[in-house]
Structure 1
Amino acid sequence: MTFTPFPVLETERLLLRQLSNEDAEDVFVMRSDPQVMQYIPRPLAITVEDAAAVIQMVNEFIEKGEKINWGITAKSTGKVIGMIGYVNMKPQHFRAEVGYSLSRAWHRQGIMLEALKCVLKYGFDHLNLHSVEAIIDADNVASGNLLVTAGFAQEGFFKEDFYFNGEFRNSVHYGLLCSEARTIGLCNP
């Protein structure tokens, strides 16, 4: 799979674009916030350099065509306020896993739903995905609600299936088929 040129996506309030080193401060704000990272099994960023390393890793996966991540940029500020992407791609199955995070100051404003719908439409229409999955921590009620609002259905509950921060955690798996997404305008006929 190739992401060259990088697909820049746009919604009413957002520009979804490739992250660059200039975004390290903005990514640091998000990745260093314990509340934002509470349900994301990744270490907190301690320094801006940690955030820069995340950006570098993300871009290496993009260059290899293995994954794609967008920086969610608020048109109103020009700042990166979140990240969203296909974090686990299974092209042989026409399936990908979507993952996302958003700076706390932008929560509860419909930002992630707007970004998610845009990325889903891109995945179904341009990556020829048949289905998209999302795997979340079972305690992350807000993320579960977001996925249901976007058209996903819960497909499974897995007890203590991953280990993070010294404890076993439960996960919930959600899925959305292109045929289901078509009924809400997120997949072309």
Structure 2
Amino acid sequence: MLDFNFSPFPTIETERLLLRRITNDDANEIFELRSNPETMKYIPRPLVKNTEDALAHIAMIEEKIETNVGINWAITLKESPKLLGIIGFYRMQPENYRAEIGYMLLPDFHGKGIIPEAVNRLNRYGFDDLKLHSIEAVIDPENFASEKVLQKCGFIKEAHFKESEFYEGRFLDKVIYSLLDK
């Protein structure tokens, strides 16, 4: 079974991006991401209502890192420390050598190839450094942009679960994509 250890925190680079630890200094951008109904449209979680909620979200991310059960990075451009989005591994299953990848990006940066670049680099980190065997992504079937990213990054659709989650008075479908270590 795998034993995850995120200390020291791994800062990761790509050609254009720096994936760094999220800090309380990112609270305004976390608020901007998680309070926006458009960016949260396909994420069945409550909207962040204020800076305190954003700081609580950052504290939750930090707690998962400290206990080695999940890890998130701030997505930034190398030339600017401003958080543009978040990417990370959730629902880590060390016994199955598997983790779920998730990501979100501020709308101003959509369509610039940022998420595929970050996903491809995080996949390498997951397979090479964490020794994962598979990485999965769980998305809303209506989230065509995310589906396109996953397909571009080599993920294969494994399942479509009908009405498998109940959120805010309605049943939601979910689609699972996965990528195996080659």
Q: Same fold judged by TM-score > 0.5?
A: yes
1:78 corresponds to: 81
1:116 corresponds to: 119
Q: Which runs of 4+ in 1 moved over 6 A?
A: none
Q: State percent identity of aligned pairs.
A: 48
Unaligned runs of at least 5 residues, structure 1: 180-189
Distance 1:28 1:75 in 2: 22
Residues matched between the structures, number: 179
1:58 paired to 2:89? no
1:76 is displaced (CA, Å) by: 3.6
1:75 is displaced (CA, Å) by: 2.4
Which amino acid in 2 is paired with 1:109? K
Q: Is the 8 A contact 1:137 1:172 kept in 2?
A: yes
Distance 1:163 1:95 in 2: 25
1:11 corresponds to: 14
2:143 corresponds to: 140
TM norm structure 2: 0.96
Q: Secondary structure at the match of 2:126?
A: helix
2:162 corresponds to: 159
Q: Is the 8 A contact 1:154 1:175 kept in 2?
A: yes
Distance 1:27 1:12 in 2: 24
Which amino acid in 2 is paired with 1:138? P
Distance 2:76 2:30 in 1: 11
Distance 2:68 2:8 in 1: 12
Residues 126-155 of structure 1: CA distance to partner in whole angstroms, max 9, x if unpaired?
Answer: 000001011101111111111000000000
Q: Is the 8 A contact 1:27 1:81 kept in 2?
A: no
Unaligned runs of at least 5 residues, structure 2: none
CA RMSD of aligned residues (A): 0.9
Distance 2:54 2:155 in 1: 30
